[in-house]
Structures are given as structure tokens and as C-alpha cells.
Copies of this chain bind each other. A is one copy, B any other.
Amino acid sequence: MERPYVIGLDLGGTNAVFGIVDRNANIVAQTSVKTQDYSTVEDFVDACMHSLNNIIDETGGIGNIYAMGIGAPNANYRKGTIEKAPNLVWAKGIVVPLAKMFSDRLGLKVAMTNDANAAALGEMIYGVAKGMRDFIVVTLGTGVGSGIVVDGNLLYGHDGFAGELGHVTMVRGDEGRLCGCGRKGCLEAYCSATGVARTAREFLQRDTRPSLLRNIDPNKIESYDVYKAAVQGDAIALEIFEFTGKMLGEACADFAAFSSPEAFVFFGGLTKAGDYLMKPIRESYEKHVMPIYKGKAKILVSTLDGAGAAVLGAAALGWSVEI
């Protein structure tokens, strides 16, 4: 009999969320473990197995599970390792063979990829990119990540680290904003949630117009504050989204020249800004893209439920494993 479920693990800096997922994107059981409560990966995996065994039993036992997929920061798909992840206490500065550890404990095949690639698989199998063979997922969260699908497969590149589109250079030279990667002018430094907050601080400083955002300590402004102000018609907040969307559209125009995708799928917290962000992205993309690509690519927002999306993405990776 066909095994009806996979295990999906969304491994974040705060929570490790496990879901048992069927082929129709139903998360039939879920549990979680606090990622940071363990100082070694062995202790972390022990705690995970304890919680995980409960939901495996609830759903009919390990015989019902096809495989496991993990979406994690700094994951190396080729090696099944997490490499020097600064946000995971038990993986700081070291290489952790997490896929093998779970595989040994579960007796299942386990695949692991980075969060944005997992999101792309989730979109392809369960989401708005269902049936597409060429598309790009752009995740707009604390950083800007990407998962690139080419002819039905994730693009991994020579070393497994392809698809870091948050780190293409949008502002060249010294005037570019310093990025977390140590370079200047990266897309991520402008168009992540934290980039939007930086833009807010810049716009408020160079300008004397009144704005709802002036009621907030500039150092505490978050992208959600900008959204709330935009909803109330705040001119500066609207300009911040215009600026962000315009740059994302220009970046996507360059990405089109690379892989000519059927769609760009935006995913993550910032997309809650809806048309405040998506309208300038679409306009800027069509304005800047090369003539042969005009009017072709769709600019979409993920429809996967925010909370479950990362688990579904990891589950999709699980389904992609050959057993």
C-alpha cells in the first residue's frame, strides 16, 4: 500500500515545527520543539524524536510515512548538512549532519534544503505554481531569499548554494546600503522587512512632511508599522512601499533575463502589504523588463497559509525523495 504521509520540518531560529502531511496539503498532525532550548544537536534531535514519535503514532505509525523533508537556514542540499548557521545555537560555526541524524533515528530517507527552496517546492506541489516548470519564489522576510525552479527542478548550482537573489547588487558603489553579508547595495538591504524599516528611517529623516510613522521611535519602526500607516493613507508610508516595489520589479526584470520564468511568486511577511507593494512591483517589472519578455511573466503572491507554508514546503521536499 502506498504510504500516505510525509514528515515536514520547518526549522526556524525559534521553533522547529513538525507536520505530518498528506498528498493534498493537509497537515494531519503537528508538533513543535523550541530550537534554542538545546545546546547540542544530539539533545535537540532527542527532544524532536520524543515529540515526533507521538504524532507518528497518532497517524498510524512509521509504516505510513514515505520520507521526511527539512527546510532549514544554511542547509546544504547536496550534503544534508546545516553549515555554520549563526541563528541556531547548536550549529554556530560548525557543520551538522542533521538529515543523516533524523534518517538514522527514523529509518526513513531524509532530504534537507534551505527555507526559500522549500518554499518554492511548496508552491510547485501545493501552491500557486502548481503545474509550472519555470518560476522563481522570492521570500520577503527578515532577509530576502529565493528558490529558483528550472524545468521542474530546483536550481542548486555547482556547490548547492545557487539562488541567493537577495544578494544581487541593486545600488553599485559606496552609496549602497551595508548588507548583512558584508557587501554593499544588495537587494536584501532594501527590500527585506528590515530593509523597509531602514527605508522608513531614511525617508523620515530627509523629509519634513507629517507622517503617522513619526509617532514611533525611529529605531523601533517595523515594516508592519509602515503597512498600518499606508492603510490610513500616510503619504510617506505609501512612498516607502513604492520605493520597495520599484526596486523589486527592477530586480525581477534582471532575473527574467536569466531564467525567463513563467511566474515570480512572492512569499513572506511583507506580502501582507498587498497592492501597496505588489502594484509597484508589477508596474516596475513591466517597465524595466526586456521587450521579448514583456507581458509574459505573472507576478503572484503565495496563497499557502502563512503558518503552515514552511512545513508544507518541507513536506514537498519529502515527497520529492526517491525511495
Q: Is the CB of B158 within 8 A of A133?
A: yes
Nearest Cβ on chain B to A322's Cβ, whole angstroms:
16
The closest CB in chain B to the CB of A166 belongs to B257
Residues 144-163 (chain A) with a chain B CB within 8 angstroms: 148, 150-151, 153, 155-163
Asked if A75 lies at the interface with its beta carbon under 8 angstroms from chain B, I say no
Q: How far is the CA of A150 from the CA of B156 in the complex (A)?
A: 9
Inter-chain contacts of A290 with B (CB < 8 A): 164, 167, 181, 183
Q: Is the CB of A260 within 8 A of B159?
A: yes
Q: Is the CB of B181 within 8 A of A291?
A: yes
Nearest Cβ on chain B to A139's Cβ, whole angstroms:
14
Query: Are A296 and B158 CB-contacts (below 8 A) given A163-B258, A169-B253, A290-B183?
Result: yes
Asked if A242 lies at the interface with its beta carbon under 8 angstroms from chain B, I say no
Q: Is the CB of A260 within 8 A of B148?
A: no
Query: Are A259 and B181 CB-contacts (below 8 A) given A167-B290, A290-B167?
Result: no
Among B133, B259, B288, B293, the residue within 8 A (CB) of A258 is B259
Q: How far is the CA of A161 from the CA of B292 in the complex (A)?
A: 8
Q: Is the CB of B260 within 8 A of A165?
A: no
Inter-chain contacts of A258 with B (CB < 8 A): 148, 155, 162-163, 165, 168, 255, 258-259
Please list the residues of chain A having a beta carbon within 8 angstroms of any beta carbon in chain B.
132-135, 148, 150-151, 153, 155-165, 167-172, 181-183, 250, 253-255, 257-262, 288, 290-293, 296-297
Top 7 nearest A-B pairs by Cβ distance?
A: A157-B260, A162-B260, A158-B262, A134-B158, A164-B257, A168-B254, A167-B290
